[in-house]
Amino acid sequence: MSRAVTATLRVNGEERTVAFPGHHTLLEVLREECALTGTKHGCELGECGACTVLVDGRPVLSCLTLACQHEGREIETVEGLADGNRLGPLQVAFADLGAAQCGYCTPGILMAAEAMLREQPRPSRERIAEQLSGNLCRCTGYLKIVEAVEWAAAVRRGEDAGPPPEILFGHPEPGRPGGDAPGRRPSETASSNT
Partner 1 sequence: MLRLPPFRLRTPSSLEEAARIVAGEGPAARFVAGGTDLWPNMKRRHQKADTVVSLMAVPGLAELRGDTGGNLEIGGTVTLDRVERDERVQTRFPALARAVASISSPPLRNMGTIGGNLCVDTRCTYYNQTEEWRRSIDYCLKEEGTVCWVAPGSSRCWAHTASDSAPMLAALGARVRLAGAEGEREIPLADLYRDDGIDYLGKRPEEVLSRVVVPAEADAGHCRSAFWKLRRRGSIDFAVLSVAVALWQEHGVVTRARIHLGAVASWPVGAEKAAEALVGRPVGDEEAIREAAKLVRRVATPMDNTDFLAQWRGVMAERYAESALREASGLEVTGLAPNHRLVG
For 69, the 3-state DSSP assignment is helix
Binder of partner 1 out of 7, 9, 11, 24 (CB under 8 A): 24
CB of 65 to partner 1, least distance (A): 6
Interface with partner 1 includes 104 (CB under 8 A)? no
Interface with partner 1 includes 4 (CB under 8 A)? no
Interface with partner 1 includes 21 (CB under 8 A)? yes
Residues 6+ apart with CB under 8 A from 177: 169, 184
Q: Find the part of the chain contacting partner 1 (CB under 8 A) among 23-31, 81-89, 149-157, 182-190.
A: 23-31
- Binding residues with partner 1: total (CB under 8 A): 31
Helices (H), the chain: 26-28, 89-97, 106-119, 125-131, 143-156, 165-169
Dihedral sign for Cα 71, 72, 73, 75, please. positive
One symbol per residue from 47 to 86: x for binding partner 1 (CB under 8 A), - otherwise; what is it?
A: x-x--x-----xxxx-xxxx-xx-----------------
